[in-house]
Structure 1
Amino acid sequence: MNLDLKGKRVLITGASKGIGLSTAWAFAREGCDLYLTARSADQLQANSEAIARECNVSVTTHPVDMGDSEQVGKLAERFSDADILVNNAGDIPAGNLASVSEEAWRNGWNVKVYGYINLTRHLYPRMVERRSGVIVNDIGNSGENWDANYIAGASGNASLMAFTRGLGGVSLDHGVRVVGVNPGPVATDRMVKMMKKRATEWHGDESRWEELHDKYPGKRPATPEEVADLIVFLASPRAGYITGTIVTIDGGIASRRSII
C-alpha cells in the first residue's frame, strides 16, 4: 500500500533504540526525511548514518533530554517545520506506591508526560498555522489497564490518553490530527528490564522473566516493528479521518483486564 508519505519531515523522540528506532526505519522506507532525537548522541549518529545510507533520505539528529524544558524548546525551534511528530521518549519506573520515590516519579513524568506535552505545545501551533500536521503519541496500555505495580506509569499513561483525546477532538478543525497508540509488552530492552523486575516480584528470580511470556496472547510480546507499522499508518493520509483516538496494540491484554 502506498501511504503517500514520501517527502514528509518526521520528528521522532527516543529514536536511539526500541520502538523509536523501528519507527524511524519504517518512515524512512516510506521516503520520509527524519529528525531524530534521544539522549545518546553516539547511538543517534550511528542510526542516522545507517538509515540514510540504506534508504537514501535525509536524517538529522539532535541529542536532547526531554525532561529539560529549555532543551525541548530549542529542539522544537530547530525542527519547527516537522510535518509529523512522534512522541516516543520515556522510561517511567516500575514499582508500587511505596517503592517509587517522589524523585523517580517526577523524573519519569518530566521525560514522558511533560516531555510529550511540552513538545506538542511548541509544534502544534505551527501545524495549526500551516493547517497540516500529525502528532502520534506512543503511550502504553497501562493507561487503560491500571497496574498497582506500575503505578507511576499507569497514571502517566492515563494522563497522556486524556491529553491525546482532548486535543485530537478539536485538532481536525485546524487541519491537524492527534492520535495515540497503546502498546502492551514489546520486545525491547526496556521491556526486559521491567519483566526481570516482575519475575523477581513473582518468582524471586529475575532470570525467570521469559517464563512470563506464557501469559501473553500468542506466547510472545509484540515486536517493535509491529508498533512502528501502526504508527506510520496512523500518521499517513490513509488514516486522514482518525483523530482524538488511541489504538491499542497488545494482543488483547487490556480487553482481558489482565496485567500482562
Structure 2
Amino acid sequence: MSGKFAGKVVLVTGASKGIGKAIAKAFHDEGASIAINYSSSEKQAKELKGSLERAEIFRADVSNREEVKTMVAEVERKLGKVDILVNNAGIWYLFGIEDYDESKFNRMWEINVKGVINTTLEVLPHMKEKKGGAIINIASNASLGTSAFGNTFYSLTKAAVVMLTRRMAFEFGRYNIRVNAIAPGWIETDMTIGGKTKEEIDNLEKWFKERTMLSMVGKPEYIANVALFLAEAEYMTGQTVVVDGGRIDYLTHGI
C-alpha cells in the first residue's frame, strides 16, 4: 500500500454516488482506507466497495446523531480511527421564496447543516487526542449568491456550512485540526441530472456553460482533486475554495 494517504482512514458521508463517490475513489487511489457512508443507496455503496481494495460501507442518516454515533464506532472497529472527514452528504430541493415548502427546507437543514455538526462531533475526540486531523465540508457556490433559479433555501443551508467551517476552524485550530470547505458549482451528478431527459440535460449544460468563464460543466473528479489538496494543505484552515469554472452570474457585487 502506497500513496500520500497510506495508513489513513477517511470517512466520506454520502459516498455512494456523485461527488462523494469520486472523493472516496481519489483518497483510495492515494492509499487511504475508506469508510463509505450511505443512507438509502445501499446498492451503489456495495458496488463502490466492490471496486475498492480497502473500504467498508456504513449506513447512517447523518441528520440522526445516534445513527452517526453508531456508525463512527463501527468505522473505528473495522478500519480504525478517522483521520480525515469529508462531510459530503446533502440533498437539494429547488423552489422559490413564494413556493416555500417548510418540510423540504427542514429536511435540507437537517442533512446539509446538522449532518455536518453530528458527524464532526463524533470524529472530533480522536482528532483532539492525536492533535491533528482534516475536515472538509462540501458547501456550494449557491452559498455565495449565484443566480440559478430555485436555489434560495438550498443556498441558506450551504451558507450555514461555510460559516460552520470558519467557526470550526477557529475552535479546533488549537488541536491542530484543519477545517476547510469546497464550494462546487454545477456538477454533473445523479442529484443534478437524475430523472431528466437528454434534451433537459443538454439545456442545463448549455445554461451553465454560458455562465462560466471556462464554458464547462463540472465533473465530480474536479471536486475530488481539490479535496485531496485540502487534506494535506498544512497551513490552510477556515477557507472555502470555490470550484465552479469561473461563474460570472453572481447576484450582486455587495457583501
> Considering the TM-score relative to the shorter chain, is it more than 0.5?
yes
Which digits, 9 at most, give the CA deviation of each residue in 1:188-228, with x for residues without a partner?
Answer: 1212259x6xxxxxxxx787333313423222211110110
Shift of 1:229: 0.6
Contact 1:113 1:157 in 2 (8 A): yes
Shift of 1:4: 2.9
Q: RMSD of the TM alignment (CA)? A: 2.4
| Unaligned stretches of 5+ residues in structure 2 | none
Counterpart position of 1:8: 8
Contact 1:144 1:158 in 2 (8 A): yes
Counterpart position of 2:82: 82
TM-score calculated relative to the size of structure 1: 0.86
Which digits, 9 at most, give the CA deviation of each residue in 1:17-41, with x for residues without a partner?
Answer: 1110001110011000011111222
The answer to whether the aligner puts 1:216 opposite 2:211 as a matched pair is yes
What secondary structure does 2:183 align onto? Answer: strand
Counterpart position of 2:176: 175
Contact 2:205 2:217 in 1 (8 A): no
Counting matched residue pairs gives 243
What secondary structure does 1:112 align onto? Answer: helix
Alignment of 1:53-132 (within 5 A): 58-80=54-76, 81-132=81-132
d(CA) in 2 for partners of 1:68 and 1:172? 26
User: Which protein is richer in helix relative to its size?
Assistant: 1
Shift of 1:135: 0.5
Contact 2:209 2:217 in 1 (8 A): no
d(CA) in 2 for partners of 1:243 and 1:15? 23
d(CA) in 2 for partners of 1:257 and 1:230? 22
Alignment of 1:1-260 (within 5 A): 4-39=4-39, 40-52=41-53, 58-80=54-76, 81-145=81-145, 147=147, 149-192=150-193, 208-217=203-212, 218-236=214-232, 239-253=233-247, 256-257=249-250
d(CA) in 2 for partners of 1:193 and 1:131? 41
- Quick check: 116-125 or 136-145, which moved more? 116-125
| Unaligned stretches of 5+ residues in structure 1 | 53-57, 197-204
What secondary structure does 2:242 align onto? Answer: strand
Contact 1:92 1:105 in 2 (8 A): no
Shift of 1:115: 0.5
Q: Structure 1 runs of 4+ off > 3 angstroms?
A: 205-208
Which digits, 9 at most, give the CA deviation of each residue in 1:120-141, with x for residues without a partner?
Answer: 1221232112111110001111
TM-score calculated relative to the size of structure 2: 0.87
Shift of 1:175: 1.6
What secondary structure does 2:71 align onto? Answer: helix
